Amino acid sequence: MAQGVFLVTGASRGIGAATARLAAEAGYRLVLTARDASRLAELAARLGGPDRVWVASCDVRVYDQLAALMGRVEEEWGSLDVVFANAGASVTTSFTSTDGAPPAEWSDMVLTNVCGPAFTARAAMPALTRHAGHLVLTGSAAGRGVRPGNLYSATKWAVTGLAQAIRAECVGTGVRVTLVQPGLTDTGGIPPSRAADPKLAPEDVARAVLYAVGQPPSVDVNEILVRPVGQDAYR
């Protein structure tokens, strides 16, 4: 059984919550974060008491909040072994029509999906380096192909490049870096146009995360691309 400290951003639902459940089963102590920490109370109560689960309000768009949290976790729990940069946002966009969200609403998605994991990595790296830890980032199958008019896809392309840049800089530190790229996942926000498409459950993605984290320290699983059976590679 693992005994390390596992921090999850965007832990209140979907992939983050499913990963927290599996990490708890594996024996990790958990730090669960979301912008609204009240949404984490029920999950935390199911996964353990305050000596096993730490709930924190944290906005990944704000570096200082992340840095303060990482420092507190290491100081009070003595370690930080896995950081799962999972928080994300999505809105429908178009560059040629008024379909989808207006441009004024795009900034939150870009800040959350691009600056969020970048800030998380920077804030976590001192502790991860000290403890030969593991950084996991949630990308997307959408970050591997062109999706017309889709700014969300472009943000996940950015996460793909970000993971590679971080991994290259971590050579020689003992820190492992894994990019998990899920296909369509049923996290409650699927657009009606894709409601009938094949979907992964959040637990399917969580198992991929725990697989990467569970490898021996000498093994660095760089990328995991996981799609539901039957999903078109270009959707």
Point out the residues that are catalytic: 152
* Contact criterion met (CB below 8 Å) for 178 and 223: yes
Query: What is the edge-to-edge ordering of all strands in the sheet holding 82-85?
Result: 53-57, 29-34, 5-8, 82-85, 134-138, 176-182, 223-226
Q: Which among 171, 72, 78, 176 has a CA at the least distance from the CA of 121?
A: 176
- The total number of residues shown for the chain amounts to 235
Structure tokens at 59: 């906005």
Check if the beta carbon of residue 41 is closer than 8 Å to that of residue 48.
no
Q: Spell out the alpha helix ranges (H) of the chain.
A: 14-25, 41-47, 63-77, 106-110, 116-130, 151-169, 202-213
- Tell me if 28 sits within 8 A of 133, measured CB to CB: no
